[in-house]
Amino acid sequence: MNRGEVVKSKNITDDIFRYVVQLPEDRIADLTIKKLAERFKLSRCHISRTFHSERKMTLATFIKHQKLLRAERQLLRDQNLTVKALATNLGYADCQYFISRFKEHWGESPGRYRKLANGYLE
C-alpha cells in the first residue's frame, strides 16, 4: 500500500487495522479517530462502533496500544532518546501522563524498562 492510498476490502475494520499498524512512526503521534474517519470517509461514530464490534476493543484503545508498542521499540532501539523526547514523538504533551500510560501497559516506567531490557537491573 502506497502512502496516501487506501485499499478498501469488504471488512473496513481490517483496513483500519492494517493502516494503523503500517503507519510510519513519524505519523502515529497525530493519529486520532477523527483522522481515521476522514481517511476512510466514514463518520467517527460508525468507524468506532464497527471497530469495537468486530475487534472487541475500542478504536481509542487500539490507537493507544499501537503508540505504546512503538514507544517500546523506540526506547530500546535508541538508547540516547530521552523519555521526554519519546513522549513528544508519540504525541503526548504531558511526559508524566506518558510515563503513567507506559507503566500501566508494560508494568515498569520507561527508564526502568530500558534498564531491565539492557540487563542493567536485576
CATH topology of domain 12-117: Arc Repressor Mutant, subunit A (1.10.10)
Q: How many helices (H) and strands (E) does the chain have?
A: 7, 0
Q: Given this model, what pLDDT does residue 10 score?
A: 63
For residue 85, give the H/E element and its range.
helix 83-89
Nine-digit cell string for 83: 523519555
| Cα–Cα distance measured from residue 38 to residue 31, given in angstroms and rounded to the nearest whole number | 11
Contact assessment for residue 22 and residue 4, using Cβ atoms and an 8 Å cutoff: no
pLDDT at 28 over 80: yes
31-90 confidence digits (pLDDT tens): 999 999 999 999 999 999 999 999 999 999 999 999 999 999 999 999 999 999 999 999
Looking at residue 83, its pLDDT comes to: 96
This prediction's pTM: 0.83
CA 98, 20, 108: angle at the middle one, nearest 5? 30
